[in-house]
Amino acid sequence: MKPLNLLALLLFLAGTVYVFTWSERTVRKIQETYYATISPFLKGGSKLELATRRFLKEVEHSEDLEKRLEVIELEFGKLRAIESQFRELERENRELRANLDFKERTRFDVVPARIIKRRPSTWLQSVTIDRGGKSGIGTQVPVLANGGLAGKVDQVFPNTDIATVILLTDESCQVSVQVAGTPEVGIVSGQRGAYGEEPRLRLRYLSKNAPIRPGMSVVTTGRGKLFPPNILVGTIESFEPGPVDSEALVKPSVDFVNLEIVFVISESGAPREGPLEE
């Protein structure tokens, strides 16, 4: 054995023998000193362990809450979609009822048609409908909608159920009208407006001192034989007197922005007994 190792062994044995010679009181003091020294570290370690466990539980709870929140958001999105569909169905149902009611009230024999094509650039000028030659639709016949006059058929494609309609809000569609309750007659036509804006009609050739007030109804006169008389066109919104003749701005009685269904007057043109279109 090397001298150094032998020395270490002897020192260890001597230390062991020395320890066994300590009294019980001395051993207790040493133990008390030892535990007093390490006690703060033990307590701190215990607190650290508890804090770590609480933190991990909070993290786990937070992850669980996040998952639940994702599920709730998903369900909420589904409910919003269902609500939107329900509101759309309600709107379509109201429009359908209104159109059916209009069809029953109108004094004309009409062919209902749905708008199947509409371009943003010509939104207030023309539309394409799903009725044409096969349904007995002819050109240059009036087109009505819930509320009153909507326009006239411009082109019919033979042997198909497709036709184009020029709307009343188009500048080229000119109609002879009368301000209800007055002798005032004039020509109403569309005027240019931006896409999405509520359209207005321009009523020209009224007399200089016409007794026109906002809210008065404007109806067709029947002159020219294209549009039957007493079809509602709109209401006076404003009046501008001029040095020779006057003009008025008319709010259409038909909702042209959201127009979806129209009624084409049959070529027979035979009116039924009934009230005016309102």
CATH code for the domain of 176: 2.40.10.340
pLDDT band at 274 (very low <50, low <70, confident <90, very high): very low
Decide if 137 contacts 163 (C-beta within 8 A). yes
Q: Output the pLDDT for position 128.
A: 96
In a domain, 275, yes or no: no
What would the mean pLDDT of 238-250 be, rounded to a whole number?
91
pLDDT confidence bin for 80, thresholds 50/70/90: confident
Query: Which of the listed residues 55, 76, 105 is the one where a domain comes to its end?
Result: 105
pLDDT at 74: 81
Whether residues 55 and 186 share a domain: the answer is no
Domain boundary among 60, 87, 105: 105
Tell which wins on pLDDT, 158 or 256.
256
Three-class SS state of 278: coil
Whether 256 and 199 have beta carbons less than 8 Å apart is answered as yes
The answer to whether residues 123 and 227 belong to one domain is yes
Token digits for 100? 């059916």
pLDDT of residue 212: 92
Residue 169 and residue 241 in one domain: yes
Residue pLDDT, tens place only, 84-98: 777 777 766 666 666
| Number of residues written out for the chain | 278
Cβ atoms 150, 216 nearer than 8 A? no
Q: Are residues 71 and 173 in the same domain?
A: no
- Note the Cα 5 to chain centre separation in Å: 92
Which of 105, 123, 143 is the last residue in one of the domains?
A: 105
Q: Considering its fold, how many domains does the chain have in total?
A: 2
Structural domain contains residue 218: yes
Q: List, in order, residues 6 or more apart from 179 with CB less than 8 Å away.
A: 185, 186, 203, 206, 210, 212, 216, 217, 218, 236, 248
178 and 201 co-located in one domain: yes
Q: Percent of the chain having pLDDT more than 70?
A: 67
Residues 95, 125, single domain; the answer is no
Q: Is 274 contained in some domain?
A: no
* pLDDT over 90 percentage in the chain: 40
Q: Does a structural domain hold residue 278?
A: no
Based on the domain organization, do 168 and 200 belong to the same domain?
yes
User: What pLDDT, on a 0 to 100 scale, did the predictor assign at position 244?
Assistant: 86
Q: Which domain holds residue 64?
A: 7-105
- What lies within 8 Å, CB to CB, of 152 at 6+ separation is 140, 141, 142, 143, 165, 166, 173, 226, 227
Which pLDDT belongs to residue 205? 94
pLDDT value of residue 98? 64
DSSP letter for each residue of 118-182: --GGGTTTEEEES--GGGT--SS-EEEETTEEEEEEEEE-TTSS-EEEEETTSTT--EEEEETTS
- Is 185 a domain residue? yes
Residue 52 placed within a domain: yes
> Same structural domain for residues 258 and 120?
yes
Looking at the structure, do residues 57 and 115 belong to the same domain, yes or no? no
Q: Are residues 120 and 229 in the same domain?
A: yes
- Cβ-contact 27, 33 below 8 angstroms: no
Per residue in 88-140, pLDDT tens? 777 666 666 666 666 666 778 889 999 999 988 888 899 999 999 888 888 99
Please indicate, yes or no, if residue 94 is contained in any of the structural domains. yes
Q: Identify whether residues 252 and 115 lie together within a single domain.
A: yes
pLDDT band at 56 (very low <50, low <70, confident <90, very high): low
pLDDT, one tens digit per residue, over 177-191 is 999 999 999 999 998
**Number of alpha helices (DSSP H) and beta strands (DSSP E) in the chain:** 2, 12
| Same-domain check for residues 123 and 79 | no
In a domain, 101, yes or no: yes
**Which residues have a Cβ under 8 Å from the Cβ of 15 and sit 6 or more positions away?**
none
